[in-house]
Amino acid sequence: MPKKTSLSTINQTAIGNDNIQVVGSNNVITTITNFFAGHTEQQRAMRNRRAMLELVKNTWIKGVLERSLYNEVLIELGMEERPGAVNHPWDMQLKMPDKENRILPPGTSIMQVFDEMNGTVLILGEPGSGKTMVLLELARDCITRAELDDAQPIPVVFNLSSWSIPNQALADWLVNELITKYYVSKKLARSWIEHDELLLLLDGLDEVKIELRELCVQTINRFRDEHGSMHLVVCSRSADYEALITRLNLQNAVLLQPLTLWQIDEYFQRAGPEVASVHEALEYDATLLELVRQPLMLSITILAYLGVSSDEIRSVKTISINARREHVFNIYIKQMFERVARTKTDLYTPDQTKLWLGWLAKKMIDHGQSVFLIEHLQPDWLGANIKRLSYDVLALILTLLEIASLVLITGFMFGASQAWIVLLLVAGLYMFFVDKSTIGMIVPVEALRWSRRNLFKRPALPVIIGLIFYVIATSTGAWIEYRQFDAIVSNLLEGLPVFIIVWLFLGGLTEAEIEVKTSPNQGIRRSLLYSTISGILSLVFAATTLSTNPLILLASYLVISDWFGSYACSLHYILRFLLYRMGYMPLEYTRFLNYAVDRIFLRKIGGGYIFVHRLLMEHFAAMYQEEPK
């Protein structure tokens, strides 16, 4: 007697298969459903989880932590427990006495602290003390843990510098950051936040605009009240945090300790004779010694004074530690230009480099950015001047050109005698559906995929708009010309196959749930690719169904390619050209940014760039004094 196969076994076999299988009459509906649904929800969730872990690892661990100046020092930082820096909810309810600060035992890792504090901790430290790197060490260890245990949350690094809308809930800000910085779909981002599936690593509380920091802390606290089970870590400079009235509602806080004299001596002994002159200078220069007690400045100082004699280092006469820091940064910048030999193809002078990096640093600080992506350039980087007016005029011309092309196509389809109807319909639909404030904004179409599941879930918005317009325009035109209901039905049926084809193509398109960026300006280049392909398809479609009239073909290309990214590409390169003409950047911007990476001013992470440290970015921004002519 043959062995029976259960229905559940058949279902498991059919799930996730992209081909329809005949597995029995009782399972036909399930199989068809699986065909259109694609992978199961669980499979998609696991795939997205693995992709996100890999993305964070590549971006922050391999791209920043392993290449950081801090990583060159490799000194174990001491930590002091600071319970008074946070509001522990149980302490407030039970009126517990204030706890004293406590130096944690040597060898205590940030992972141990994180576990002991139930996944919520505030990391404090002086500028250059290694707060971000300690945060990334925690991210690295948590990623390893999450790769081995699917029940662990996904560690994701966010920089609070971009939190700039006072009334914006933290959950909404997190969703927007996941979309714009990690290229996660909106649906997936909201799901992760709502179900507490992430470990939030919030860096740079001190980088929030000073007038918004209190509100930012209050917003984080409200989020904690709503998502009490979500693990959360915050980093801030200690002085900036202590100046706030509101305290974070976290389990505890730790303060990173400066390097001890013993740690500094031990490091120089390991480093060898190449840095002996710096070590010798420290014995006679108390200001410099105090400066290098922060890991970043120890690395910067060694690179700046490499090959410089002890006497020359000690000849610098500065009173304040801030003045000495600025001097060290200036020497560092000079040394970085000299350490890499100039070539015949090296077209950037030190003055140009400092000017362009100074402008970039200032704009990143002004716009609350820690990672710079070329495709995220927006027209407000132009400032208020004649060049911004030129950009706005060109953006408006491109918008009107798209409308005119759509009017031309529809007028041709339904007759010139009805052009006034077409014009009113197009203008009305445009004004109703398009947010006027977005005119001139650059929004690349970066990651698209075709999905059967998306096709049968909901039609794309352009198809809905087009279908409404088609029904109204065709019905009105037929009624005006024939005054017969049969003519309306006939006209609608004639054009129905066209909209079925368009629906099959556009309705199944959706944004990829997670897009890993691997090269600079990839978003704009992908938009250019998508717009070109869609434009060519529109030419073929128009030539076979509408007309071979060159004007109609051009209008078809403009309308479709604009929907798929050519509008964003055009505005992006117009903006780049205007910034070049104003002296803010070279034409080959990616090449220049890579040049800055070679000189250890920037780090390349994925498709973006980050200054090697916030202090260096602030130094370049301070160097930028005047607008270029």
Q: What is the pLDDT of residue 554?
A: 84
Identify residue 325 by its one-letter amino acid code.
R
Q: Which residues of the chain have pLDDT under 50?
A: 1-38, 92-97, 344, 450, 455-456, 458-460, 628-629
Give the C-alpha distances (Å, rounded to integers) separating 258 from 130, 269, 323: 10, 19, 19
Q: Is 609 helix (H, G, I), strand (E, B) or coil?
A: strand
Structure tokens belonging to residue 158? 């966010």
Helix (H) / strand (E) containing 510: strand 509-511
Q: What is the pLDDT of residue 203?
A: 96
Query: CA–CA separation, 81 vs 597, rounded Å?
Result: 37
Helical H runs in 230-349? 238-242, 261-271, 276-282, 286-291, 295-304, 310-314, 321-339
User: pLDDT digit string (tens) for 321-374?
Assistant: 888 999 999 999 999 988 765 554 567 899 999 999 999 999 999 988 888 989
Query: CA–CA separation, 562 vs 559, rounded Å?
Result: 5
Q: Which residue has the tokens 């000299």?
A: 338
Number of residues in the chain = 629
Q: What is the pLDDT of residue 166?
A: 87
Entry pTM: 0.79
Distance of CA 178 to the CA centre of its chain: 7
Half-sphere exposure of 288 (CA within 13 A, CB side): 24
Q: What is the pLDDT of residue 73?
A: 55
Q: What is the pLDDT of residue 618?
A: 94
Q: What is the pLDDT of residue 411?
A: 67
Q: What is the pLDDT of residue 353?
A: 94
Look over the chain and give the mean of its residue pLDDT values, rounded to a whole number. 79
The one-character DSSP state at 23 is: -
Query: Are 350 and 337 in contact, with CB atoms under 8 Å apart?
Result: yes
